[in-house]
Chain A
Amino acid sequence: MMASSYNAKEEDGHLSGTPGPGVVGADTSKKPDNTAFKQQRLPAWQPILTAGTVLPAFFAIGVIFIPIGIGLYVTSNNIREFEIDYTGLEASSPCFNCSQSYSWNNTKPCTCSVSFTLDQAFEGNVFMYYGLSNFYQNHRRYVKSRDDRQLNGDTSALKDPSKECEPYRKNVKPIAPCGAIANSLFNDTLALYISSNGTQIEIPLSKKGIAWWTDKHVKFRNPGGNNSNLAPVFKDTTKPVNWAKPVYELDTDPENNGFINEDFIVWMRTAALPTFRKLYRIIQKKGMTPTLPRGNYTLLITYNYPVHSFEGRKRMILSTISWMGGKNPFLGIAYITVGSVCFFLGVVLFIIHHKYGNRGNSSDIPS
C-alpha cells in the first residue's frame, strides 16, 4: 500500500520532447472507451419512494396479511390439542413415587397411570407427543456430541467414534451410539387407554412415520447394510451408559431397530429450544368415527426418564393437525397484527402526506 513516489517509468513518460528510441506510441489515443459501463451511463431503473408507491404497498400488505391471519387463526383454533404434565413432582401426582426414585438402571420399571378426560372428540389422525421442559438439547456441547459417521453406518466410526462424543465415547469398548445426545435418549414408554363402560381399551399407537424421511433413509443407517441380525455387527461395541438395552435391541422389527429406530432418530434431531416436544406416536384415523371420541382416558407411563434433577418437566400432548400443521395461534395473531399495523400506518402516512407533505411541488429546488 505504501508507494514510492519515484517511478522511473513515469520519468520516461515525460520524454516527449526528447528524440530517442521508444517514444512512439504517443499517437495512440488514450481516450477512454465510450461504453455505457465505463461512462457510468448503464441504463438503470431508479426507483423512488413516493406516496404513489409506498402507501399502496402498505395497504396491500394490510389487505393480504389480515385475511391470511384470520385464516390461520381460525384453522389453528379448530385444532384440538390436549396436554398433560406427568412429571409427578407434586405429592398428589400419580407419578410422584416414580419421579422420586431416579436412576437410569432400574431393573424394575416403575409405572404410573394418569387419567384425563377429553371434552371434545379428536378427528382425523391424532399425534401423540412427549414434551420436555428445561432440557437443553440446544446446548453447544450437547449438540455436537454425536458422530454422524457412526450413525450413518460407517463401521470404522463404529469402532472409533469421533472425539466430539467425549465423555461418552468409550466405555472400555467404543460406545454405539456414542455421545451425550444418544446417551440421554428419552426412554419413557407411554400407552393410552380409553375407558369405555369401565373397561380400559388400549388405543393402538403407530410408531412409523414419526421421523423425517431423510433421516430414516439417508442420515441414519445401520452398519453392515440390511442385515436383520444386528447383534454381531455391534458386538465390539457397548451400549451407552444410561441405556438399559443395547442399540440393537430397541425394537424387534428389523426396519425399526438399531440406528434406524425412529424413536432414536427423533431424539437425535435436537430441539432448538429448551422447551420442546417430540413426536412419539401416531393414532391413525379409522373409518368415520372420531379417532379419539369424547371420554375418559388413562395414560400408562413406564417412568424411566429422570428429569427431577434438573427441574425438568415431562408432558404428554395429543394433537390433531391441519393443512398448515399443528396448533399455532401465534402465527395467525401475528399476521392479523402486522396487517392491521400496516393498514393503520398506511392511513396515518396518507394523512401526513396530504397535510404536511411538500413533495408535489418541484419548484422549490434551489438552484
Chain B
Amino acid sequence: MFKEKPHPEEERKVRANDREYNEKFQYANNCIMTSKYNIITFLPVNLFEQFQEVANTYFLFLLILQLIPQISSLSWFTTIVPLVLVLSITAVKDATDDYFRHKSDNQVNNRQSQVLINGMLQKEKWMNVRVGDIIKLENNQFVAADLLLLSSSEPHGLCYIETAELDGETNMKVRQSLSVTSELGDPNNLAQFDGEVICEPPNNKLDRFCGTLYWRESKYGLSNQNMLLRGCVLRNTESCYGLVIFAGPDTKLMQNSGRTKFKRTSIDRLMNTLVLWIFGFLVCMGVILAIGNAVWEKEVGSLFQSYLPWDPPVDNFLFSAFLAFWSYVIILNTVVPISLYVSVEVIRLGHSYFINWDRRMFCQRRNTPAEARTTTLNEELGQVEYIFSDKTGTLTQNIMTFNKCSINGHAYGEVIDTLGAQSKRGQRLDFSFNPLADSDFCFFDQSLLESVKLGETLVHEFFRLLSLCHTVMSEEKSEGELVYKAQSPDEGALVTAARNFGFVFRSRTPSTVTVQELGRPVTYTLLAILDFNNIRKRMSVIVRNPEGKIRLYCKGADTLLFERLHPCNHDLMNVTSDHLNEYAGDGLRTLALAYRDLSEQQWEDWAEQHRSAERATDCREDRLAAVYEEIEQDMMLLGATAIEDKLQEGVPETIAILSLANIKIWVLTGDKQETAVNIGYSCKMLTDDMSEVFVINGHTVQSVREDLRRARERMMESARSRDGGKEEEMEGWVEGCSLANGFSGGGGRGADWQRQQENKQQNPVPPPLPPSTLLDSISGDFALVISGHSLAHALEADMEQEFLDTACACKAVICCRVTPLQKALVVELVKKHKKAVTLAIGDGANDVSMIKSAHIGVGISGQEGIQAVLASDYSFSQFRFLQRLLLVHGRWSYLRMCRFLCYFFYKNFAFTMVHFWFGFFCGFSAQTVYDQYFITLYNIVYTSLPVLAMGIFDQDVPEQRSLEYPKLYEPGQLNLLFNKREFFICIAQGIYTSVVLFFVPYGVLSQAARNDGIPLADYQTFAVTVATSLVIVVSVQISLDTGYWTAINHFFVWGSLGAYFTILFTMHSNILFSIFPNQFCFAGSAQNTLVQPVVWMTIALATVICIVPVLAFRFLKLDLKPQLSDTVRYTQLVRQKKRKPGGRGGRGASGGAGGLGGGAMGRLGRTGSRRSGYAFAHQEGFGELITSGKNMRLSSLALATFASRHSASWIDTLRKKKQAAQPGGGESSPATAPLSTSSSLLGPQDPATEEAANTPLGPACSSAVTPTLARSPGADSTGGWAISLGAVQVRVYRGKCFASLTPYLVLVDTQ
C-alpha cells in the first residue's frame, strides 16, 4: 500500500524458473497485506487518519484556542476529555479490526504450496512464492497465485476449477494448457522449462488474459483459457503445474477486491450539511456577541476599568471584540458536540448487532445468521424505495423439482383440490422398491407410480426418454450412490425423476448410455446427440436399444415441438396443450417430450448427411441445424413435464409486502426472458390482474424507442379511460412526447412532491406538469420486461430518461439477459435520477457491481460463492428475510436515528444557547452560565445514555405490526422523520428551552433571597439552578420522546439524573475543595442552593414552561393528524386493554403471523391462459463434449465392459482404462473446443412466445391473488388469520406461530 511504484507496469515479462531474471522487474511477491498498521505505525497513522475527519480537527483547533489565556473561556479539559474519549474509542476499534486482518493475512500467507526449485519440489509458504516459479497444485487445493497452466495430470492438459470465490459460479470450469507445455509431464522436464511469458500488466478483468509465450523460438498465444486464478479451487484433477504470472497484490482476485467505496447514508449527508449550517450559525452568534462586546467595552467596559482593567494585550474595544469572538466560538461549540458522531456510530453498531442477533433472520438449514457487514447504513434500510434483485439464487433456490407431468393425455401430480386453499397432499411416494432412488426426491401422486408398476408402455417410454435424452454425467462413488452432474438443474431434475420411477441412468460413454430399467441394466447405443441451443429450444438423442431398434427421443419447448409432431397426434396434442397451459399458469417450467422410431435406412441416410454437415467448414452451424430439423419430424407426442423452479421460501409474500410498502422491485437477471417472466409470475411480481405487461425486445435504437413510446401511450390511454378529467393534458403530452425523443428531464424533483402527485391522482392535476410526473400518477398495474440488448440502447444518454420514466410508472420491471455491468448501470440510473434509496440484492459474482453501486447491497449468503457477500453491506441466506430487514430493522433504525438526532440537536441547543442570552448580561465577556465541569460532562455523562438507549431500543410499534401494515414504512421513504424542517423545529424548540432556562431563573433569582436573608442572585447559585433545570428539562423531554421504556431506559434516565446529582454534590463538596481549592471553587453551592424551596420552584416552573407547549403540540398532532404509526400504536393499546381480562389466551398465536401481512394470497389460485413456461437453463455444446469423449478423460476406449456394475465411479474407471489406452488420438482440437461457459448467445426470441406473454388475461382469471388481509371474524384459538395460502406456506407459518413467544398480543380483531 505504501510502496510507490516508479512507473506503472506496461507489460509483464516472466521467465520460468529464473528468479534472477524476474527479480529485475521487482514484481510484487505473493505476500498479501490487507492490514493497515503495525505496532509502531499504529499511533501516528491512526491519529493522522482520525484527524482527517473534519470534526476531530475542529475540536483540536478549539483545544488550541483554549490554551490562549485571553481567549480561553473554558478550561482546556472541557474539550480534551471528550476528544480523547472519542479518539481512543475509535482507535481501539481500528486496532481490533486491524488485528483480525493481521491474523487472517498471516493465515493465508503461511499456507503451504509446492514449489519447483532446482528441479525439486519443495514446500514453501505462499508468501514466499515468486513470480516465475512453477508450483504444483493438487486436487481441492486453492490456487496460490495467478498461474499459467503448464501441464496437468489429466489428458490434453485439461484441468477443472471451481471459481466460486472469484465469480460466484459454482459449476466447474475447464482450463487447458498449451499442448506444447502439457507434454512436459514430470517435474524434471518442467524444471528445464525456460519459456518466457510476455503479457498484460496486472488488471482486474477476471475473464480476460492476453499474453504470449516464447519458447524454443516459437510464439504461442495465451488466453484466459490457460490461466488458473488465485482464489479458484482445483477440482477433479489429480494435480497440475503452473507458472506464476501474477502474485500477491497483483493477482486478479486482489486487484478486484480493492477498497470498497465508502457508503454514506442520506442521513449522514444531511447531518453533515446541518453541521455546516450549525457552524454558520455558530459564527453568526459569535459575530453578534463580538459586536455586542465591542459596544459594551466601548460604552461600559472602558469606564469600568478602574475596577476591571483590560488584559495587557487589549488596548481597544475592537481587539477585545475580536478575542470575544473566539471565546464565544469556544463556549458555543457545544451546539456541535463531538459526541454526536460517536453516539451515531454506537447506535448504528447496536442496530447492527440486533440484525446479527435476529433469530427470525437465521436460516436453520444453512446455519447462517443474518450479518450486518457494515455498521454505517442501518437507518437507510428504512428509506428504501427501489429494490434490484437478482433472480437465480436470490428469488429462486436454483433447485428444480419435477413437479407434474402429463403422459399420453393423462395428468399426474395434480394434488391440489379445486379450492386451491388447502392441500390434500398425502404421503410422499415411497420409492423404497428402488434401491437406486434418490432419497431427496419427492412426489405425491400415487397414480403415477402405479402406472409405472402396471407397466404402461407409454409411461415407461416417457421415463426412458427422460433417462436417455440429456447430457447429464453420472458419478457413482460407491455402489448405488449415484450423483448426477447436470449442466442445467432442469435436466438434473428430470433425470432424477426418471431415476426414482425406476429408469435409472447409471453411466455413459461417448457412445453408450447405460440405464437400469426397473432393476434391469440396459445399455443403449448412443448414435447421436442433437444438441440444444437457444434457437432450436429442444434437444434430441438417437439411440439404438439392445434389440437393435433405433429411436429418436426429443424434448423441448412445446411451441416448437408441436409443430413437428405427426398429424395423428392432434387430439393428444390438444389435451397435452391444456395441461401445459395449466402448468405454465402455475409458473412451472414445461417441456414437451416426443419420440420417433427410425428405420435403419432412415438412420443411415441421415447419418450420412450429418457427417457431411459436420465436416463442412462454412456455415457449419446452419447446416447442422438444417440436418437436425430434418430428422426431428413426424414425432409421436409422449407428454410433457412440469418443473418447478423452486422459489425460495416466502418470496411471493415478501414481494407482496414490500410492494405494499411502496417499494418498487426490479428483477435484473442474466436469465432468458421466458424464464424471467415465468419467475415474475410465480413470485407474484407479475399477475394476471395486471393491465398490461410490456415487452421491450428491440435490437435497434429506433425500435426500443418505439417500444417505450408505445408502452407509455398505452399507459396514458388506460389512465385516460379511467380518469376522463385528465384527458386533454395527457393527449397533449403524449403528442409532445412522441415528437421529442427523450426530454432531458428535470432531475431534481423531490420524491415528496411526486408522491403528493400520486396521492392527488383522483383530483384534477394542475396543467403545467412535467411529463414524468404525469407518468408517475398512472396507477394502473403495468409491468415492463426489457431484455439486455434493448437495455443497452435504453441506457444510452439520450434515452435513459425516457426509459426511466416508463419503467418507474410500472409496478414491476424485469430486465433479462443483462450483464453485470448493465445491472450496475440500471442501479446508477435510478440512483441518479430518482434521488431514491436503492437496494440491490444478489448472490453471485455477477451481482457484485450492482451491490456495490446501490446505496445498500445485500448478499445472499451460503449458496454460491461469497463474492456477493463480500461486496455486500448486509448478508443473509433467504430472500424473505429482506422484509424483516427493511420493514422491521430498517424502519426501526430510521425511526431511532431520527428521534436520536432530533433530540440530540435539541438538547445541545437548549444547553448552549443559554450562554448567548447570558452574554447580554455579563458584558459579552464569554462568561459561561455553568460550572465548567458541567459543560464537560453534560454531553458525555448527564445526557448521553438516555438518548443512546432511546436510539438503540426505541420502538414505536411492535415488529409484527410493521409487517402487518407495510404502509408504516412510508415515512422513511418520504424522509419525514428527520429533514431540514424537522431540524429547524428541533432547533427552535432548543432555543425556546434555552430562553426559558435563562429568563425564568433570571426573573426569579434576581430579586429572591433565601430565608436567612442572603440573596440568591449570586453567580454560583444561578449556575446550579440553570444547570439543574436544564438536566431535568431534557430528561423530561427524553421521557416524552421515548416510546418504549425498557428497564434499560429507566435505568439510564433515572441513572443520569442520579449521576447528575451525585456528581454535582461531589464536585461541590468541601472535601474536594480542600484538596484542590482552585479547581473546585463551587464548593458548597449545591448544598446551599438545592435546599432552597425557591430554587425548586424555579426549576419546576421552568420545566413546565418548557414542556407544556411541546406536550400540547404533540397531543394536537396525535389527535388531529395522527400518523399511521400513532394509530397503530393506539389501537394496540386499546386492544391490550380489552385483552387484559382474557389473560394470556391468544398470545402464542400472535408471533409470526404478522409476517403474513399482505401476503395472504393463493399460491396456486391462478389459472393462467398464458403459454410457454418453457425454460431450459442449458448451454449448448455439452452434447459435443460427450460424444467427443473429451470430458471423459479417455480418447480411445474399449467400452463394452464399461457398464460394469462394480465401477466405483466413472472417473476412476476411465482413469484405469486410460493407463492401458494410448494417449493422443481422438479429435483433440483445443482451439475449437467449445468449452467456454459464457452464455453470450442471444438468439432472436420466438415471436409466438412473446405474443403469448403479452396477451393480457381475460376476466375469468380474476384475483384470488389480491394481497389483502383476510381477517377471520371468529378468531379461533390458534390465531385468527384465515390465510388462503398454499399448503406449504401455511404450514410454515403455523409452525412459526407456535414457536414464537413474543410478548405482544395482537392479531385477533374481534370486531
Contact = CB atoms under 8 A, between A and B. Distances in A.
Contacts of B892: 40
A193 interface: no
Contact of B1044 (A44, A152, A271, A356): A44
A11 B867 CA distance: 9
B1003 A214 contact: no
Contacts of B358: 32, 38-39
Interface string A197-236: 0000000000001111011001100000000000000000
A319 to B, nearest CB: 7
Contact of B1012 (A12, A137, A209): A209
B972 to A, nearest CB: 17
B1018 interface: yes
Contacts of A7: 34, 101, 104, 870
A287 interface: no
Interface string B292-315: 000000001101101111011000
B306 A367 contact: no
A50 interface: yes
Given A139-B308, A309-B306, A358-B1122, A210 B1014 contact: yes
A330 B1007 contact: yes
Nearest to B957: A46
Given A8-B107, A323-B1011, A334-B1000, 7 more contacts: A38-B353, A135-B307, A138-B927, A139-B922, A218-B1084, A324-B1011, A363-B1311
B1116 interface: yes
A271 B233 CA distance: 80
26 contacts: A12-B104, A31-B364, A31-B367, A31-B369, A32-B356, A40-B953, A47-B1045, A48-B1126, A136-B301, A137-B1019, A140-B327, A152-B1077, A180-B307, A210-B1014, A214-B1088, A218-B1070, A272-B1006, A273-B1022, A310-B307, A321-B1011, A326-B1008, A341-B1108, A353-B1119, A359-B1122, A362-B1134, A365-B1124
Contacts of A68: 1097
Interface in B1095-1149: 1097-1098, 1101, 1104-1105, 1108, 1111-1112, 1114-1116, 1118-1120, 1122, 1124, 1126-1134
Given A46-B1129, A138-B921, A366 B967 contact: yes
Centre residue among A2, A34, A162, A365 by max chain B CB count within 10 A: A365
Centre residue among B105, B307, B1131 by max chain A CB count within 10 A: B307
Nearest to A154: B1077
Interface stretch (A92-100, A247-255, A277-285): A277-285
A183 B307 contact: yes
A42 interface: yes
A5 B1047 contact: no
A328 B34 contact: no
B242 interface: no
Contacts of A277: 1015, 1017
Given A39-B358, A48-B1129, A180 B1108 contact: no
Contact of B1083 (A61, A219, A306, A345): A219
Contacts of A11: 108, 142, 165, 231, 866
A107 interface: no
B258 interface: yes
B1013 A127 contact: yes
Interface residues of B, number: 142
Contacts of A211: 1014
A325 B1011 contact: yes
Nearest to A6: B257
B79 interface: no
Given A136-B300, A310-B303, A326-B1008, A32 B369 contact: yes
Contacts of A324: 1011, 1093-1094, 1097
B1309 to A, nearest CB: 9
A269 interface: yes
A356 B1120 contact: yes
Contacts of A328: 1004, 1007-1009, 1094
Contact of A309 (B303, B967, B1011, B1118): B303
B34 A6 contact: yes
B73 interface: yes
A54 B1040 CA distance: 12
A124 B964 CA distance: 71
A326 B1104 contact: no
Top 8 A-B pairs, shortest CB-CB distance: A214-B1084, A326-B1009, A6-B257, A272-B1022, A8-B108, A9-B104, A127-B1013, A38-B357
A178 B207 CA distance: 82
Nearest to A212: B1088
A26 B862 CA distance: 12
A167 B309 contact: yes
B922 A140 contact: yes
B562 interface: no
A184 B1018 contact: no
A275 B1130 contact: no
B1002 interface: yes
B457 to A, nearest CB: 42
A252 B298 CA distance: 42
Interface of B: 32, 34, 69, 73, 94, 97, 100-101, 103-105, 107-108, 140, 142, 164-165, 231, 233, 253-254, 257-260, 262, 300-301, 303-304, 306-309, 311-312, 327, 353-354, 356-359, 362, 364, 367-369, 374, 376, 865-866, 869-871, 892, 921-923, 925-927, 953, 955, 959, 964-965, 967, 1000, 1002-1023, 1043-1049, 1070, 1073-1074, 1077-1078, 1081, 1083-1084, 1087-1088, 1092-1094, 1097-1098, 1101, 1104-1105, 1108, 1111-1112, 1114-1116, 1118-1120, 1122, 1124, 1126-1134, 1158, 1268-1269, 1302-1303, 1311
Interface stretch (A14-22, A108-116, A169-177, A293-301): A14-22
Contacts of B965: 365-367
Nearest to A219: B1083
A18 to B, nearest CB: 5
A48 B1019 CA distance: 40
A357 B1083 CA distance: 53
A276 interface: yes
A30 B369 contact: yes
Contacts of A51: 1115, 1119
A61 B164 CA distance: 69
Contacts of B1016: 325
A244 interface: no
B1114 A49 contact: yes
A310 B304 contact: yes
A24 interface: no
B1101 A32 contact: no
Given A42-B1046, A342-B1104, A365 B34 contact: no
A106 interface: no
A331 B1009 contact: no
Contact of B1119 (A18, A58, A145, A356): A356
Contact of B1020 (A12, A142, A269, A353): A269
A148 interface: yes
A105 interface: no
B1019 A325 contact: no
Contacts of A364: 1127
B980 to A, nearest CB: 25
A18 B356 CA distance: 27
A246 interface: no
A261 B450 CA distance: 115
A256 interface: no
Contacts of B353: 38
Contact of A180 (B308, B955, B1269): B308
A338 B1083 contact: no
A134 interface: yes
A339 to B, nearest CB: 9
A33 interface: yes
A263 interface: no
Contact of B866 (A14, A148, A282): A14
B262 A1 contact: yes
